[in-house]
C-alpha cells in the first residue's frame, strides 16, 4: 500500500535571519504555532529545505521549522563558502531556535542532516526533546571515498561520465578537481558540465538499488552553488573530528529513532549500527532492500510511521 503523507501546506511564516559574517538564513514555519515544535535539517551538503519534508507531520499538531543552511537554497549569499563550516551550522541551529523563541524542540535530519542532528544534540542536549535520523551520514573518509570513487556497478556508467570531466593529464580525483573548479575558479564553461554530471551521478546513488532517474537539472547557477558547498565540505571531511560520536554520552537522555535502508549506497547501513552502539537507547528501524532516497517506498513508509507516533 502506498504511504499517504499529510496534504501539501504553505508556510505560515518565513524570513531571513542574519547569523554573522554576511550570511542570512532563509527559514519557514508551517502548521500550528501552538503545536509541538520540530526542526528538519536538510541533507547535502548543499541541498535545501523541501515542501515534501513538512508533509510528514500533522499540521494541526506540529509547528514545523525548516531552513536553508549557509550558502544553500534561498539563504544568502548563495554558494558562499567563507565562514561556512560545520561549527557555524551548529551555532546557526541554536540561533534560529532562539530567534523563534522555542525553548526545546524535536530534531529530524536525513543523510548530512542526520550528521548535523547528531552533532547538534551532543552540543545542546538540553534543547532536544527527541530525534529521528534517517540514513545518517557519519562524515568518515571511507564514506566520502566510496561516494566519489567507488560506486556500485549500477551507478558506474554515470560515475565514469563524471570522471570524464577530469582531464586525464591532471591525475586528480573527482573531488580534488571539483573542489578546485567550484571553489577557486570562475570558469563557468568547466563548472556547468561538471555540476550537471555530478548531479546526475548523485541522483543515481541516491535511488540505488532502484534504476537511475532522468532528472531535470534546473538552474545552472543553483547547481554550481550546490556543488561548491558540497565539494567544500567533502574536501574538508565536513570539518568534524575523527569521531562524530565522540560525545555520544551527552545524548543518553534523548529518545532517538534511526531509519536506514540496508542497501544504501551513500550512507552505509553500518552507520546506524555504530550510532546504536554509542547511543544504546536508539531504536533502529531497518528498511529491508531500501536505498538512501527518502521517497523509496519502504523508507517513506518507515519514516512516516515513526514520525506520526510522536505526540
Mean pLDDT of 119-142: 98
Domain 13-139+240-308, what fold? Rossmann fold (3.40.50)
C-alpha cell at 208: 540505488
Condensed to tens digits (0 to 9), the pLDDT of residues 113-125 reads 999 999 999 999 9
Whole-number Å distance between alpha carbons of 107 and 116: 10
For residues 275 and 283, give the distance between their C-alpha atoms in angstroms, rounded to a whole number: 10
Residue 253's Cβ-side half-sphere holds a number of Cα atoms within 13 Å equal to 7
> How far apart, in whole angstroms, are the C-alpha atoms of residue 201 and residue 199?
5
pLDDT tens column, 186-207: 999 999 999 999 999 999 999 9
15-19, 166-170, 277-281, 303-307: least confidently modelled range: 166-170
Residues 6+ apart with CB under 8 A from 248: 118, 122, 275, 278, 279
Whether the pLDDT of residue 102 is over 70: the answer is yes
Residues with catalytic function: 111, 264, 292
* Alpha-carbon span 162 to 148, nearest angstrom: 10
**Mean pLDDT (whole number) for 88-102:** 98
233-273: pLDDT as tens digits: 999 999 998 899 999 999 999 999 999 999 999 999 999 99
Residue pointed to by grid coordinates 536553508:
68
Beta bridge partners of 38: 64, 106
**Mean pLDDT of the 77-101 span:** 98
Per-residue pLDDT at 216: 72
Q: Cβ neighbours of residue 180 under 8 Å, at least 6 residues apart?
A: 172
Averaged pLDDT for residues 32-58: 98
Q: Is 96 within 8 Å of 25 (Cβ atoms)?
A: yes
Residue spans of the domains in the chain: they are: 13-139+240-308, 142-238
pLDDT tens-digit readout, 213-240 = 777 777 899 999 999 999 999 999 999 9
The answer to whether the beta carbons of residues 95 and 87 sit under 8 Å apart is no
Order of strands across the sheet that contains 62-67: 13-20, 23-31, 62-67, 36-41, 105-110, 128-134, 256-261, 283-287
Nearest Cα to 139, choosing from 257, 259, 44, 278? Answer: 44
Q: Over 70: is that where the pLDDT of 26 sits?
A: yes
How confident is the model at residue 1, as a pLDDT? 62
Q: Give which of 192, 2, 36 is closest to 104, Cα–Cα.
A: 36
Average pLDDT over residues 35-42: 98
pTM: 0.97
Amino acid at each position: 500500500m502506498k504511504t499517504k503523507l499529510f496534504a501539501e501546506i504553505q508556510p505560515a511564516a518565513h524570513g531571513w535571519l542574519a547569523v554573522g559574517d554576511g550570511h542570512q538564513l532563509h527559514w519557514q514555519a508551517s502548521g500550528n504555532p501552538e503545536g509541538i515544535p520540530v526542526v528538519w535539517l536538510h541533507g547535502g551538503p548543499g541541498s535545501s529545505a523541501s515542501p515534501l519534508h513538512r508533509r510528514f507531520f500533522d499540521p494541526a499538531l506540529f509547528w514545523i521549522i525548516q531552513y536553508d543552511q549557509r550558502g544553500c537554497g534561498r539563504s544568502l549569499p548563495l554558494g558562499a563558502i567563507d565562514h561556512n563550516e560545520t561549527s557555524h551550522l551548529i551555532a546557526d541551529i541554536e540561533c534560529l531556535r532562539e530567534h523563534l523563541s522555542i525553548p526545546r524542540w524535536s530534531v529530524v535530519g536525513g543523510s548530512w542532516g542526520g550528521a548535523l542532528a547528531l552533532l547538534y544534540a551532543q552540543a545542546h542536549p538540553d534543547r532536544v526533546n527527541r530525534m529521528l535520523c534517517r540514513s545518517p551520514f557519519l562524515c568518515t573518509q571511507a564514506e566520502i571515498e566510496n561516494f566519489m570513487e567507488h560506486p556500485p556497478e549500477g551507478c558506474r556508467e554515470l560515475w565514469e561520465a563524471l570522471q570524464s570531466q577530469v582531464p586525464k593529464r591532471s591525475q586528480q580525483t573527482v573531488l580534488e578537481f571539483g573542489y578546485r573548479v567550484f571553489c577557486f575558479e570562475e570558469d563557468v564553461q568547466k563548472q556547468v558540465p561538471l555540476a550537471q554530471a555530478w548531479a546526475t551521478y548523485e541522483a543515481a546513488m541516491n535511488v540505488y538499488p532502484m534504476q537511475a532517474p532522468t532528472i531535470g537539472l534546473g538552474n545552472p547557477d543553483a547547481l554550481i552553488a550546490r556543488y561548491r558547498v558540497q565539494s567544500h565540505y567533502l574536501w574538508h571531511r565536513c570539518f568534524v573530528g575523527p569521531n562524530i560520536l565522540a560525545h555520544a554520552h551527552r545524548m543518553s537522555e534523548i529518545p532517538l529513532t534511526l531509519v536506514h535502508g540496508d542497501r544504501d549506497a551513500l550512507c552505509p547501513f553500518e552507520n546506524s549500527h555504530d550510532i546504536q552502539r554509542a547511543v544504546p537507547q536508539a531504536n533502529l528501524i531497518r528498511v529491508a532492500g531500501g536505498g538512501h532516497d527518502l521517497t523509496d517506498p519502504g523508507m517513506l513508509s518507515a519514516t512516516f510511521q515513526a514520525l506520526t507516533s510522536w505526540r
